[in-house]
Amino acid sequence: MNEVVHCEMPRIVTYEEVLTDEFCDEIVEHFRSVGMNPNAGDESYEQSDGQVHAGIEQRNISWNTPHEIRMKFWKKIEEVAGIPVDWIEAGDIYRYDESQFFALHVDYPYNPDRIRYYANGGDRRFTAIFYLNDEYEGGDLDFPELGFTIKCKKRSMTLLEYDYEDEAINASSIHESTPITKGEKWICANFISNGKVPK
């Protein structure tokens, strides 16, 4: 495993070669065969109190990600980054088709108390993104306020942190997945609390 630190504040790091090619291909083929929900933006609108919507999120999301598949990714997060599994609030598979994108956004909720996961306290602290393929063009992870772009490599995981006291630091984590110009992009995105997710 190779660790690439893109930024210290906010901390953004990519851990390379944390998955196997076989595992990535197996996940892609499974969700290709069972089909995907083409309206990820609409689902996000409901779950984010309107913060994210179809106008900025154009991609497909897994319908019902099996718990055993989620746990494989969550245990890898724990192994690689030392984040306990019971801090992870959600994780799903996403596919970007040609021309699809996720425009500029931040991953933390503006009003965490209005989000189901945090109705009983807590807040979101991290995002962990696994890259399941890299045979496409476009689809880079761009951080315009921080001045760098990540070329997403298959088998890697990028971890974003954004739960700082200084809100300007959190806001600087704004990012986008640029439009796919050829092929399709597959990822697993996971959202993580700043402690055990309250029940």
At 126-138, the pLDDT tens digits run: 999 999 999 999 9
Question: What is the arrangement of strands in the sheet containing 57-58, beginning at the earlier edge strand?
Answer: 57-58, 101-105, 175-177, 141-143, 148-150
Higher pLDDT, 110 or 27: 27
Output the pLDDT for position 44.
87
User: What is the rounded CA–CA span in Å between residue 144 and residue 194?
Assistant: 25
| Domain annotation covers residue 161 | yes
Q: Which residue has the tokens 């801090």?
A: 87
| Domain annotation covers residue 121 | yes
| Domain annotation covers residue 59 | yes
Number of domains in the chain: 1
Cβ neighbours of residue 64 closer than 8 Å, sequence gap 6 or more: none
Is it the case that residue 199 has pLDDT exceeding 60? no
Give pTM, 2 decimals. 0.95
Q: Could you read off the pLDDT of 142-198 as tens digits, one per residue?
A: 999 999 999 999 999 999 999 999 999 999 999 999 999 999 999 999 999 999 886
Q: Could you read off the pLDDT of 70-108 as tens digits, one per residue?
A: 999 999 999 999 999 999 999 999 999 999 999 999 999
| Domain annotation covers residue 199 | no
| Domain annotation covers residue 77 | yes
| Domain annotation covers residue 198 | no
Q: Which domain CATH number covers 123?
A: 2.60.120.620
What domain range is 51 assigned to? 2-193
User: What is the rounded CA–CA span in Å between residue 25 and residue 8?
Assistant: 32
Q: How far is the CA of 113 from the CAs of 12, 84, 88, 110, 126, in angstroms?
A: 25, 22, 17, 9, 17
